[in-house]
Structure 1
Amino acid sequence: MSLSWRQSVRGRLVFLILTPILLTLLALIALTTYWTRTYTDRQLYMKVASDLAVARSTLQLMQERQLEHLHFLAQAFELTELDSATLARWQEVYGLDYLRLLPSSAQHSLTSSLPSSAERLHTQLQAGEALRGLSVLSAQELASEFPHLVAAARVEILDTPRARPSDAREETRAMFVRSLYPLRDAQGEVQAWLDAGVLMNHNLEFVDQIRDLVYGRDALPSRGIGTVTLFLDEVRISTNVPRHLEDEDFIRAIGTRISADVAVRVLDQQAVWLDRAFVVSDWFISAYEPLYDLQGELIGMLYAGFSEGPFVEMYRKTLGELGITLLLILLVSAVLVWRSAYALFAPIRHIHRSVLAVQSGDSSVRIGPLKHQDELALLAQEFDSMLDELDARQEHIRQAAERLEQKVTERTASLQEKTAELEASIELLKATRAELFTKEKLAVLGELTAGIAHEINNPAAVILGHMDLLLAELGEDAQPVQEEIDTVIEQVYRIQAIINNLLQYSRPGQMIDQLHQMEVNRVVKDTLSLVRHALEKKGIQVLESYQAQGEIEGNRQQLQQVLVNLLLNAAHALPEQGGEIRLSTQPWLSKTGTEGVEICVQDNGCGMPAEVAARIFEPFYTTRENGNGLGLSISQSLVRRYGGDLCVESKLGVGSRFCIHLHRQAQINPEDEATMQQLLSGLGVV
């Protein structure tokens, strides 16, 4: 009786070996596909979001520089010197599309053209404040005020796949980056306005500059295309998106319109789009955000993105190569296993033939003593001797088992002790790792604050210098506005104090020298007066309770900085109007029995889930769209530097309670300060 290869031992062995290998390979392919796709998509969306942020920053920087140019003209020239020739010359120098001087009487026309909803803009114009931002002029306004820009602003609207139906064939409106700067006389009255603008219709330099910055060499795969676009409503007025991705001749898709699904999301719902989208002729990894003019009206969109095709091609190529490699491995393994099994089971085939002969009824066939000393003869002889040894070994095994059980008990107790020590070491390692991770983030924050402080101190010094010059020039004439001038100077010094705190935060070793005695209740009351106007504006009621006594050692300005941050965070957690904040101080004892003070800020707002409350003190972690995730991290670090702590208790839907614990005498930790200083020095912050 012959057996098929599926019934043979060799066939079953090959099947048992190859089945786990095949299942493992299939699982590996599936997991690789999932992980690759998930990780790739997340990275692509993170990159395009970063690209959009660069585009947004470039647009804001363009506005700020334009306003700086007007500020320079206002400082460098008298009003009578700003004739048409001078304005034309500086218009060319600054690359402006128009630069004009409006009389102070034009302020009425500026404010009258604004909707009643633009209250902030009304207030700024009436107060004579400088303005910058985006502005859209209709075809009639453009022809009336800037007829030389009518042709340059005109955009032919093209039929675009996947766009919403529209009968419009031409866009005649113009989008400008616009700035208004007041010119004042010696008494501070606005005599005229400097009005400047750059036309964004067909402004290729703007979008190409951002593209070259974000999508430079080696930023994208081969044949990958990075693009930036400025929209007026749904129409592309400035872009480097090609009309047809496969065309050899690069033709910009100016005049094409956005796809319908993106238009609904960004223009109708005024939300940010961060996903793949169909752009003119192909799919792109895209990021869109709405744009608003000086009046706060939605006027268009800003876009950044790159072609999806090269990434899909790389993804498919990688999966194909992986699949082919794994199939080759499986095929080679099958051949090797089959050949090895054939040689391995050669002696068994002889025994199998003998057994089959006995089963067929041939009683004369015996395995018994064999004349030839082959494998089966040796097996038969060893089998008999093995039975004799079996009893002796069984007794030996029983005795060994008893000894083994005793050793296992001893080893188990020792292992449990070692396990407990290992668990403690792991917990310590986790805590140390988390602390190091936080300090690495703080190192980056230190470098950032040092740069910001340098940039802000310069204009603050300029303001103080000009205020001194203004007082010297006005002399006794400054008496009517002396209180306002003193307020400006006081606020500038306050800015410098805040900047100094930031610098000290990036150089923690210098903070120990700024300790002094202060009355906690007085500091809390003074801090509340700083933010009371903002709280009353939202209709928030503050319930005060001051039970702490005496003074503590600390830094007044840094404590105020922490309290302002907690009060404003509490205000953000409350509804648009109304709500309640409880502000209290009371005595406090540390775990070691050291006396101190507890300052609590409690709100009845939305509260936080446990997973959010566990991370709010991490640097750069935030749940607000316009937050930076630094306020609570800096606040906790400031409190801990003096031996105190900042903790939170929160319940979702009920509210949050932040408590500051401070010792009567500051307890500086020199080892922690030295470690932080060494870490920041290694990163080039200190």
Structure 2
Amino acid sequence: MSVFPRWRSIRTLVRTTLRYKLLLLVLFPTLLAMPATLGLTIYWFNSFTRDNLFLKVKSDLAVTRHAFGQMQQDHATALQRLTDSYSFRLLLTNGDARGLQNELKSLIDEEGFTFVHLTDELGNWLYEESLGSRGSSKPSPLTNRAMRGRPSAALEVFTPDDLQREDPALIERMRVPLADEPERAYEDRTMVMRAVYPIRDFGGQILALLDGGIALNRNNTIIEELRDRVYGPATLPSGGVGAIALLLDNVRIGTNLTIGQQDTALGTYVSTEIRDKVLGEGSTWVARDLVGQQWYISAYQPVFDADGQGIGMLQSSILEAPFRNAHYRAAALLLLIFIGVIALATWVVLRGARSIFKPIEQMANLVRATQAGVDRRMGKIDSQDEIGELAVQFDSMLDLLQRRNHEISRAAEQLEAKVEDRTRELEQKNTDLERTVSLLRETRQQLVMAEKLASLGQMAAGIAHEINNPTAVIIGNLDLLVAELGDAANSVHGEVDMIIQQVDRIRYIVDGLLQFARPSSPSDNTDIENVNINRTVKDTLVLVRHAVEKGETTVHVQLDATRTVRIRRYELQEVLINLLLNAARAVSAGGVIEVITADWEQQGVVISVKDNGVGIAPEKLGRVFDPFYTTDTRHGTGLGLSVSYGLIRRYGGEITVESELHRGSVFQVWLLEEPVLADQRVGAEDFGENYTDRRRNHERDYI
């Protein structure tokens, strides 16, 4: 009967006193959760430590594999250095067998090779007859690759017969005694790190092969070097042991693993599970591994021969005991810290709990709910002190904050709409500005060209007038001189013809200058006719046939134009002759020139002259239409393209050029079906901009 009154008394205290409420709320979960939390923490710590050990040994295996591959590459590089050395080349050229063998012996001593031979493509040893040694190397895919010019390095398995080829003493040296194997006492196969490097003459032909190999059975030097690279200073805890093993099939043929105080694990086997997982499936195996009487954390990975066949494994291991001891010490320390922290936290919570705990917790929950977007308030609380007043003010603040958020949202929506409008306006203005800048740039280029043509035209007229009179006098007096000399002029007939040819050349240049200086009036439409573009192209090809055939050039013609254009036929023919002659001079023997005509949308016709010649450098491309500028100083005067450009522009057309150095050039003549003569042209706003855009769009489609 005394139990129930006591229970009722405790219950009353808990319901009426905040101190006991907090005591129950804090101590009960703490006492209940502490064992579970401690157990989970220890379990997590054990798993974390184990996973870290597995991750470390797996990482160590990757480093081991990289170091092992680097060693293979280093030995292949050693062969390359020897073949590239001047002394070796000189000995090989002179056929000095003794000197070559000395070089090979030095390489064996310095790099640790088990054997190095000079062989032919069949593997027969070269330059060893004088030493009383004749033989051949083991056939290998590495030899075949080297004969195709590919230096190769890989692992191979040598049988006792293969070792007999090299040195009978190797058979005994490479034997590995097997542990716990009643049916077989020794592993007499040998894993060899082999490299074959081709030796070329100065013409690139393969003279011989340099074949070298390192036997890995019982090769402590290789194992120790790998161990030092992987498990250097400060990589293991105090007392930690890192070990490397190389396995042939499932037998350790080289290792620093120990199974006792002094005995190594050489000749021991790995389990069938490991062998099937690593060699059977080609996977990496990481787990605890019992070697002798000691547990290791080991990782195994397959190694392959030159044909990609798994022949063994590479093992990286760390002794488990030092890590396990360190783990136990850390776990004990963690347990003590955990108990101390729990005790301290319980004391602090009990000492710091007051009547404000619950309202503050409610406020914290309210803050989190508000952050999550939930509209909630503190409401009325059973407290008349500062906490109660704070709760009321807190609700007021949330109401104000909600109103401000609504206002900010409306303002943000309005601002976003304004930004979108401004962005669209700016994009439109940028587009208009880019179009205007492009038009101004093209107009400026045309004005500069027109100014050049005008200035040079005036100068050309004066030069042509001054040159014509002396040339006429020269021809007249030369004819008179020949007539006066009669038969006596036969002895200088060649010189007279040369003078006439040079005077004709002067006249040709002068005629070009005059034509450049006095083009026909832009408004004069005399002789303008409807010209069949395809027929004009055919007639022009007949005129330049001699120049084209002289260079053994092939001309491909594709005449797809169906429209006629109004133009002076002889002027268009002059433009085509200039373009075809330039193309014929640009191509080498056997080159190709393509002439293509096509309709230019609803505007007119485009004529393309394309060659696969030397092309024009980018820095020279902008000057090809300048008067007197030429890239062919042997034949050109520099007037052909400038005159052609002026003729086409006179009819409102355009000549464009694209060129790539050493790939060829393409000139395109754009002709309007109905010409727009100089005094009939409209402004850039009405014609130039639309004309340029249409021509560029068609040019992209055409190309």
Which of the five TM-score ranges fits, normalised by the shorter chain?
Answer: 0.3 to 0.5
Larger RCO, structure (CA 8 Å, separation 6 or more):
1
TM superposition score normalised by structure 2: 0.44
TM superposition score normalised by structure 1: 0.45
Point out the structure with max Rg over C-alpha.
Answer: 2
